[in-house]
Chains A and B, each alone.
Chain A
Amino acid sequence: MDISTQKTDQAPPPTAPPTTTEQKRAARGATRPGDRIFLGLSRGSGILLLAIMAAIAGFLAYRASLAISKDDANFLTAFEWNTGVIPPKFGIAVLAFGTVVSSVIAMVLAVPIAVAIALFLTHYAPRRLRSPISYVIDLLAAVPSIVYGLWGALILVPQMDGLFGWLDEYLGWTGIFSWDQGAPRSMLTVGILLAIMILPIITNVSREVFRQVPQMHEEAALALGATRWEVVRMSVLPFGRSGVISASMLGLGRALGETMAVATVLSPDFDIHASLLNPGGGTFAQNIASKFNEASEFGRDALIASGLVLFVITLLVNGAARAIIARRKEYSGANA
């Protein structure tokens, strides 16, 4: 009897579908009122989250369209932000450039150092130091961005004079590093500050990845006489590559959307400068924060339009990072 039903289950018999639906109904347990209410509540919250995401995109797009339709300049390429004049002229070219440049500087500085610190914590640090250092890095990830901003503006900026003079003297001929002796409230300073801010998150995720390298891989390399660096290069880094990439993109997402640290440090204008050392430029988030107070309702719509662009960019970056992480489910960086 048992055997025969099993056999009929394996073949597709006409009797199988009803049993599975019955099982499904029993498993769901949605027959009691309490269960139905609770399932409704929890599913409702999930749907609410999706609705919020959709609403963010929808409302931003609606207000942005109000602003862009009245824009007399090209929204994507104009080098000015005059929302008060008639007809209004504004464009995001400078903001897009500044956002990309400051984030790229931050990534170039932060990723190698963060990977090195992650390696330090998993493979190099004395065992006693590992957990206190990890703890400190966790806490640093929790320092509010406005405090980083205040520190950057009042402590870091005065420290940059020496470095800028030196860069100007030896690398000024490239144009990228020329400096007119202005206050060092420039893209490079912003990039350095952003690098400091995103260091903890990249370190945390990379550390989790490096920790999951199979012990066997490392021991095999050691048994072949590899030095510690060769172990890291041959077994740890290849294993952790995708994790490091997604950690970097999470950090990039933070750097792109950072507001207060940029708003406090940068002295903005609406032009693209070749030099990273001279003040000027701006980022999406910084522009919103500093223009908001004086903006009319139309000006706010224009700022919302620039925010929509930022939203789309971070959505793409984060989506890509998550897609890479999803391929290796074990180390989801979402908690970091």
Chain B
Amino acid sequence: MSHAVVNDKRPSTLRGASLPKWSPWAIAAGSIALAVVIGLAGGLDSRAQWGLIAGLLFLLGTYGIAARVEGRRQAKDRIATALVWVAFLIAIVPLASLIWATVQRGTKVLDVYFLTHSMGVVADSEAGGGIYHAIIGSLEQVGLATLIGAPIGILTAIYLVEYGRGNLARAVTFFVDVMTGIPSIVAGLFILSLMLMFDMQPFGFAGSLALAILMMPVVVRSTEEMLKLVPNELREASLALGIPKWRTILKVVVPTSIGGIITGVMLSVARIAGETAPVLLLVFGNPFINTNPFEGAQASLPLYIYQQYSQSAGSTAAYDRAWAASLTLIAFVMILNMVARGIARWKAPKTGR
């Protein structure tokens, strides 16, 4: 009966009844308000629960209202839209919290003193000290890893794009793909097994070797993509002038795509700079400043964060230092990322997308 009544009220056009444009916002506001009421009344102390309840109410409310007014198909469409939005918001919350926590807690002890002093005379549970030794260790290990990993990666990519035919190239392509998925700790264990064999003590360069293994496949993939973007006409023009292939590659192909190649290398540097596991196994950590990566244990930023967290028995000073080091590390990685993307945009080959 009620269905007929609704039908009579509807204006006689071909368009079905539809909710006004502001209705999703209204439903969202209503469900958030209701969730707050439920949360307060039920005495739920976790804000995460409030959010989940609000999300659930939003979905149910959207479906119920849309099904009554617009019909089943429209209601399904609306609930899909609502679901997608809720999923997006659910994902944003932890990520925003991560950034917020790092910035808020990290700025507590982050100053020039923190950046220029080591932990040499400071116990892990005391306040004071800094990350100077860790920064030096990180820069040396990552720098050496880049010196090894980047040339091998770039040369492999050149081989795959410019020469690669047949079984060897196919095998290399496949194993490069598989290699991108090697857990960092396995790369660390590999170098460790070598060190056990030659009875060596932990030192910085061992970490660099593991990081280089992690870096190579990433460099190969990104360089490959960039070299493929270089138009064949350029290669043909150069070869037609009688220039040998290797000079064509070095003077024409690589310079054309150099922006993209540098971007790829920088992104991979950003990735290995945050690796902890291989450094933990191979470099061991050291509260003192050790500038020689070829002898003796070193520190590194990610390892410093882990050790401040795990070896300090819950001291607030150590946690503060861990957050400050995290902020430094994130800032380093983000700056590398942004500069890399800037170079990519600035030096993009004109034929690119």
Contact = CB atoms under 8 A, between A and B. Distances in A.
A112 to B, nearest CB: 7
Contact of A285 (B156, B183, B247, B267): B183
Given A116-B84, A288-B185, A46 B245 contact: no
A46 B160 contact: yes
B163 A120 contact: no
Contacts of A159: 46-48
A147 B326 contact: yes
Interface of B: 44-49, 73-74, 76-77, 79-81, 83-85, 87-88, 90-91, 94-95, 97-98, 101-102, 151-153, 155-156, 158-160, 162-164, 168-169, 171-172, 174-187, 189-190, 192-194, 196-197, 213, 216-217, 220-222, 225, 244-247, 249-250, 267, 270-271, 273-277, 280-281, 302, 305-306, 309-310, 319, 322-323, 326, 329-330, 333-334, 337
A297 B196 CA distance: 8
B76 A147 contact: no
Contact of B175 (A53, A199, A228): A53
Nearest to B177: A322
Interface in A32-47: 32, 34-35, 37-39, 41-47
Interface of A: 29, 32, 34-35, 37-39, 41-50, 52-53, 55-56, 59-60, 62-63, 112-114, 116-117, 119-120, 124-125, 136, 138-140, 142-151, 153-156, 159-163, 166, 196, 199, 227-230, 232, 250, 253-254, 256-260, 263-264, 285, 288-289, 292, 297, 300-301, 303-304, 307, 310-311, 314-315, 317-319, 321-322, 332, 334-335
A159 B47 CA distance: 8
A294 to B, nearest CB: 13
Nearest to A231: B77
Contacts of B84: 116-117, 119-120, 124
Given A117-B87, A163-B48, A46 B97 contact: no
B306 A52 contact: no
A52 B244 contact: no
Most buried by B among A46, A114, A232, A322: A46
B334 to A, nearest CB: 6
